[in-house]
Amino acid sequence: MRSDLIKRGLERAPHRALLYSLGLSRDDFEKPFIGVVNSYSSMVPGHVHLRMIADAVIQGVREAGGVPFEFNTIVVCDGLAMDHEGMKYSLPSRELIADSVETIAKAHALDGLVLIPNCDKVTPGMLMAAARLNLPTIVMTGGPMPCGWFRGRKIAFSHVYEGIGRVKAGELSEEELEMLAMAACPTPGSCNGLYTANTMACMAEALGISLPGSATPPATSSRRIALAREAGRRIVELVREDITALRILTRKAFENAIRVDLALGGSTNTVLHLMAVAREAGVGLELEDFDKLSRETPQIAELIPSGPHGMDDFDRAGGVPAVMKTLEPLLHLDALTVTGKTVGENIAHARRLDEEVIRPLDKPIRPTGGIAVLRGSLAPRGAVLKTAGVPPSMMKFRGRARVFESGEEAADALLSGIIREGEVVVIRYEGPRGGPGMREMLAPTAALVGMGLMEKVALVTDGRFSGATHGLCVGHVSPEAAEGGPIAVVEDGDTILIDVEARLLNLEVPGHELKRRLESWNPPKPRAKGGWLLRYSLSVSSADAGAILRPPSDH
């Protein structure tokens, strides 16, 4: 066992002395040492209940004959960080989380890991660490909160953001908005739609590194506690069987996960995160892989924010196993999972329990998947669009550019009513390097919906979008403005063409004029003046490469 490095032999007597001080007995040195990585925080709704999950995992580890050691990582709540400088720290936190898990697991010579994340960057950060460490690993996410109800209507977190625009449009009073806010998030858990946190929980399950059925049970349900206890027992068996993370995180596993994402119409952030995890696993994912699979994979579910169903409905309909059973002809059924069985064996008895929530393959919501990769003169290296949220009338759109240098400027313009029908809101210098941190643009996109402009105005940015986004919103434009990409030289009044079916994103100015503008462009000074964000901005790759930290040789 790897933990023999700190518990075996004459020279390890000082190490054993320290371990004895923790209450270990001599018998414990014969057992696997299991790290239980808990991202608990009393300030984050998705994580405030994770002590309960960790306690169940620890109980399971002990029952199976392992020795559990709990440690923690940081967590940023994207909702609380939204629309101010705090959002600049959200995506970078993914790297810190991966590094911290790697640090403790290596420094303390652990034999296996149970990772307990729940929010947007914690799950991919922990998955990156799992791939990097290649230890036996199980991901046990913390689960979603149920939907709330307001005036007889099912609501979720994104409806509160949209309510701001409804107040500005005179459809809702400020007091009614406050009542909506009080009803939207009724319990702890990850936010209650198919936003990034829940999409990534589904990705962990689809990858095979979570136990089947673990992505969707409500955060405070007894089923989740039982699954956590089972994860604790199973990790000890994984160590003894030497089934490590890279035996699971294969090319086949990533293709399975992408297909599940496309079938669900999940968050565009999964493109960034799956590419980053794949890189750690030595699997070469490209933007083209997402687009190719999207053309072959029908969308069979439509969850909040794009559709009427919540995560609680999805869970009752059979969750990820039911989706994978439906997609069975398209999946790599021989991919290994943490159960020790293949995907095909895991889903053999799964079934759809509600065909309004999870459609059969021959009656899809859309014949293709929920994500598209666009290219063209405005995005030579690609841009990402969540097709699941695009109104049919907006699948091809040509409009005049209105350019903003930050998300706040664009949101203020939308809420002030100065954006007109037929315009394309361009938000730049919000990419991984330029932001820095590639902030989510939830405020401007929610304003589009709340102000009744979702079928009249498009949005294009080198930043990214919350999983709560819907509308014609194109993100991840690469190269980003801070790298001198064409988005840096768009001018007010320029014509922009967005053609989803043709996968085009074009700046319709003459080629010689675009060349002249790019040649006269000068890079701005970094917005971050010091600290971690400055280091991040100098090292981060572009969005089309997953916004990862590049090794020094790549700079």
- 100, 294, 466, 478: which one is catalytic? 466
User: Exposed, middle or buried by CB within 10 Å (0-12, 13-18, 19+), for 140?
Assistant: buried
Q: Which tokens sit at 84?
A: 């101010």
Q: Is there a contact between 464 and 434 (Cβ–Cβ < 8 Å)?
A: no
Which residues 6+ apart lie within 8 Å of 147 measured at CB?
Answer: 154, 155, 156, 186, 192, 193, 304, 310, 311, 312
- CA–CA separation, 105 and 127 (whole Å): 14
Query: What phi and psi, each to the nearest 5 degrees, are found at residue 478?
Result: -130, 140
265 near 306, Cβ under 8 Å? yes
Of residues 368, 345, 50, the one with CA closest to residue 190: 50
Tokens 């929920």 belong to 370
> Distance (Å, rounded) from C-alpha 537 to C-alpha 527?
9
Q: Where are the alpha helices (DSSP H) in 21-170?
A: 50-63, 78-81, 90-107, 122-133, 157-168
Closest CA to 90 of 487, 435, 541, 447: 435
CA distances from 330 to 208, 253, 285, 320 (A): 16, 12, 18, 15
Let me know if 25 is a catalytic residue: no
Residue 546's region, left for phi above 0, alpha for psi from -120 to 50, else beta, is left
CA distance 378 to 506: 5
Helices (H), 208-250: 222-241, 245-248
Retrieve residue 201's tokens: 């929980």
CA distance 445 to 443: 6
E strand or H helix that includes residue 400 = strand 396-404
Helix and strand element counts for the chain (H, E) = 20, 14
Task: Say whether the peptide bond before residue 321 is cis (omega within 30 degrees of 0).
Answer: no
Q: For the chain, what is the radius of gyration of the CA atoms?
A: 23
Name the nearest CA neighbour of 33 among 44, 46, 22, 49. Answer: 22
Which run of H or of E encompasses 539? helix 531-539
- The Cα 258–Cα 275 span in angstroms is 10
Q: Which positions are catalytic?
A: 466
